[in-house]
Amino acid sequence: VQLQASGGGLVQAGGSLRLSCAASGSTFSSYAMGWYRQAPGKQRELVAAISSGRGTNYADSVKGRFTISRDNAKNTVYLQMNSLKPEDTAVYYCNYVYFRSSYHYTRPTNDYWGQGTQVTVSS
């Protein structure tokens, strides 16, 4: 099953972007999904995750600013990013996850990350 992330770009601090991740396959609705990001010189980190039942969890750094959602009819998961900060600059990836109610225990199900989409926030 392939995942294609899109929607990144260059935005000024305080601005907004909406990322999309389109999945192929007919069982998308059964899977939990997550958005990750990796900034230069840093480890990849989980930003937000959503379960098949639409439960969500978020990194503390994005709570109140980012919202993850899904449209199962379109096989797509979204990340609405508001009040963007320069420290949000990174390549953003989507992946399937083992969803746990605690952000700290949510893990990706595989190591295929695709190309991701670049988000750059200028100050």
pLDDT for residue 1: 64
pLDDT for residue 66: 98
pLDDT for residue 109: 92
Residues 6+ apart with CB under 8 A from 118: 8, 9, 90, 91, 92
pLDDT for residue 27: 87
Low-confidence ranges of the chain (pLDDT < 70): 1
pLDDT for residue 103: 87
Instruction: Using the structure block, give the residue that is written with the tokens 């190591």.
Output: 111
Q: Measured at the alpha carbon of residue 43, what is the angle toward residues 42 and 46, in degrees to the nearest 5?
A: 120
Give the tens place of pLDDT for each residue, 43-78. 999 999 999 999 999 999 999 999 999 999 999 999
Tell me the C-alpha to C-alpha distance, in Å, between residue 57 and each of 34, 96, 110. 9, 14, 19
